[in-house]
Amino acid sequence: MSSPVWHPFHQHGLGEDIPLVERAEGALLYTSDGREIVDAISSWWVTTLGHNHPRIVAAIRQQAEKLDQLIFAGWTHQPAEDLARGLIAMTPPALQYVFFSDSGSTAVEVALKMALGFWANRGESRHRILVLEHSYHGDTIGAMSIGERGVYNRAYSPLLFDVGTIPFPHKGAEQASLDALNSACSAGDIAAFIVEPLVLGAGGMLVYPAHVLAEMRAICAAHDVLFIADEVMTGWGRTGTLLACEQAGVVPDILCLAKGITGGSMPLAVTMASAPIYDAHYSTDRSKLFFHSSSYTANPIACAAANANLAIWQEGGVLEQVTSLAAREADGFAHLAAKHSLANLRQCGSIIAMDVDVTDAGYLSDLAPRMKAGFLQRDILLRPLGNTIYLMPPYCMTQDQLDRILTAIDEVLTEVL
């Protein structure tokens, strides 16, 4: 009998095989039919420290026995209090308040609502959002509105709100992008600019330099436009620093974190805000409160998992793992690039990507699914983005596991090219 499960971003009509995974450890997934799969993309960018990290698993188990869930409107619990303080200690001092939610998309929705609430409560009419071309911020209606438009959201476009789009700062076109941001910010009705710092993930692992990010931040500050950093993917060491913003010396007004916040073990997200954002909502007037909540806001078990992640970070060694992994990835991709027809080799911390050099559009259209199938056949979890092959592994990946991935890429490229 076929399964009643409707999978995300999956065309069931193609009849593709759906592996059933029973357990996981580190960078490995074990399927019910006895296969051992290397997870090259951290189960879609979330698993930073490796699957089933024993300390995170222990924290989840302990918390589950004490307090499973609690209303968070006007109530609190120790795991959330500890986590908020821990996050504030680890991030720039200007970020003083922590608002909890449960996914990257909601963290972004919350950021947009905070920005609009800030201007509304101050009695200023600013409601337009600026975004960077090729951005991805999630799949809810607001998050889609501020992301790249395409086949994946065309049916919903009548519901999406209008935004101002700044051209991506491609190599050599950085100044044009900054000029466009500067002139867009001058309009006067701009509430905020939201950006994925240093790497645009779903947009194709597009990287841009730290100095451009720093200049973007400065332009926003000069026009009193709120600067929102969506570090849902880039946070937690992905780019070689805890936050990608650090590499540019940038402190956002609002910061979105999710994916790796629990080490990738539980759904949890936060939107961190500077004092002016919080203060704009702080009043004896109830109508100025921040109108947002979801049922599982700051779920205690998820917070306990995040606290275990923070404890592991505080002990040190995580960034060293990222550095070692990044060097080994660079080595492997250089070999592949020398052997195959590849272009645009790029890297930012543990994220490395290159494009398969094909021009035939018809051929290009089914390249990603063919490569994905080739990787799965070789027991590798790796989903190319169009003609872009990228790695985003858990930091604990061994050389042996990485070699299995590189061999599979070599074989698949030989097959498809």
SS3 state of residue 258: coil
Nearer Cβ to ligand PLP, position 108 or 226?
A: 108
109 in contact with ligand PLP (CB under 6 A): no
Label residue 172 left, alpha or beta by phi (over 0 means left) and psi (-120 to 50 means alpha). Answer: left
Nearer Cβ to ligand PLP, position 270 or 318?
A: 270
- Minimum distance from residue 384 beta carbon to ligand PLP (Å): 16
Measure the CA–CA gap between 164 and 146, rounded to whole angstroms: 9
Q: Has 293 been labeled as part of a binding site?
A: yes
Choosing from 103, 247, 265, 401, the residue that interacts with ligand PLP (CB under 6 A) is: 103
40 in contact with ligand PLP (CB under 6 A): no
Label residue 349 left, alpha or beta by phi (over 0 means left) and psi (-120 to 50 means alpha). Answer: left
- Minimum distance from residue 116 beta carbon to ligand PLP (Å): 18
- Minimum distance from residue 140 beta carbon to ligand PLP (Å): 7
Stretch that binds ligand PLP, among 67-75, 135-143, 214-222, 359-367 (CB under 6 A): 135-143
Nearer Cβ to ligand PLP, position 237 or 374?
A: 237
213 in contact with ligand PLP (CB under 6 A): no
Tokens standing for residue 1: 């009998």
What x/- string results for residues 188 through 207 when contact with ligand PLP is judged by CB under 6 A? --------x----x------
Q: Has 97 been labeled as part of a binding site?
A: no
- Asked if residues 161 and 145 have their Cβ atoms less than 8 Å apart, the reply is yes
Tokens standing for residue 81: 């209090």
272 in contact with ligand PLP (CB under 6 A): no
Q: Quickly count: other Cβ atoms within 10 Å of residue 311's Cβ.
A: 14
Provide φ and ψ at 190, rounded to 5°. Answer: -85, 120
Measure the CA–CA gap between 101 and 297, rounded to whole angstroms: 5
83 in contact with ligand PLP (CB under 6 A): no
Measure the CA–CA gap between 417 and 408, rounded to whole angstroms: 14
348 in contact with ligand PLP (CB under 6 A): no
Virtual torsion, Cα 212, 213, 216, 221, nearest 10 deg: -140
- Minimum distance from residue 410 beta carbon to ligand PLP (Å): 28
Sign of the C-alpha dihedral computed for residues 87, 208, 165 and 368 taken in this order: negative
- Minimum distance from residue 235 beta carbon to ligand PLP (Å): 9
Stretch that binds ligand PLP, among 152-160, 179-187, 228-236, 389-397 (CB under 6 A): 228-236
Q: Which residues pair with 132 in a beta bridge?
A: 166
Count of chain residues binding ligand PLP (CB under 6 A) = 13
Measure the CA–CA gap between 217 and 199, rounded to whole angstroms: 16
Measure the CA–CA gap between 95 and 272, rounded to whole angstroms: 6
Which amino acids are annotated as binding site, given as ranges? 44, 104-105, 136, 230, 259, 293-295, 383
Q: Which residues fall in the annotated binding site for pyridoxal 5'-phosphate? A: 104-105, 230, 294-295
Note the residues at the interface with ligand PLP (CB under 6 A): 103-105, 108, 136-138, 196, 201, 230, 232-233, 258
